Structure 1
Amino acid sequence: MDKKIFKCPRNSRLKEDTGQKKQKQNDRSATITERAEVTVKKSVVKMNRKSNKRTTRIKHIAKKVEQRKSKLTRQNAYLYYFKYKMVN
């Protein structure tokens, strides 16, 4: 049996793509700007991933705090209402 039959074409394509990216970054024939562009793109993607995580975490915390505040205010409103009702 020939081994090439069992090779997954998608994986081989991915390997080729990554090879091209690496080549562009490390290739001396490529201009300095091209090499820089590749590195910048990679770093930007990394930064975006981190910032997305951070923003989602902050949003989640903010939502929790808002819920807590609304609950507390509602309870306080009832308490004040009954207090004033008892006094007056």
Structure 2
Amino acid sequence: DQVSSFDERLTSLIDASVAKVTMQQNSDMRTISAVVGMWAAPTLVAGIYGMNFDIMPELHWALGYPMAIVIMVLVVLGLWAWFRKNHWL
């Protein structure tokens, strides 16, 4: 009976340890996903503005390039704030 009790206790401890490791991995994956999302947003904006279209009105503005940079920074800051609010970072 005592061996059976120890076996059950050991199994429970192993299960708890595995659950703790799984939760930590999920948290790490959330953080990695948030960072990748923050990296992808300015890449998207830069990709659109780097396609050499001539019909985009922003390309002929004197402040078109600085506005694209500001948009990229604001998107990243917005994502950063949202991820911090949801405890992903």
TM-score (norm 1): 0.54
Aligned positions, number: 53
Name the counterpart of 1:50: 17
Deviation for aligned residue 1:36 = 2.1
The structure number with the bigger radius of gyration is 1
Structure 1 moving runs of 4+ over 2 Å: none
Deviation for aligned residue 1:74 = 1.4
Match of 1:69 among 30, 33, 36: 36
- Runs of at least 5 residues in structure 2 that lack an aligned partner in the other structure: 54-89
**Identity over the aligned pairs, expressed in percent?**
4
Between the two structures, name the one with larger relative contact order (CA 8 Å, sep ≥ 6).
2
More helix by share: 1
- Runs of at least 5 residues in structure 1 that lack an aligned partner in the other structure: 1-33
Trace 1:1-88 onto structure 2 (pairs within 5 A): 34-84=1-51, 87-88=52-53
Backbone CA RMSD of aligned residues: 1.2
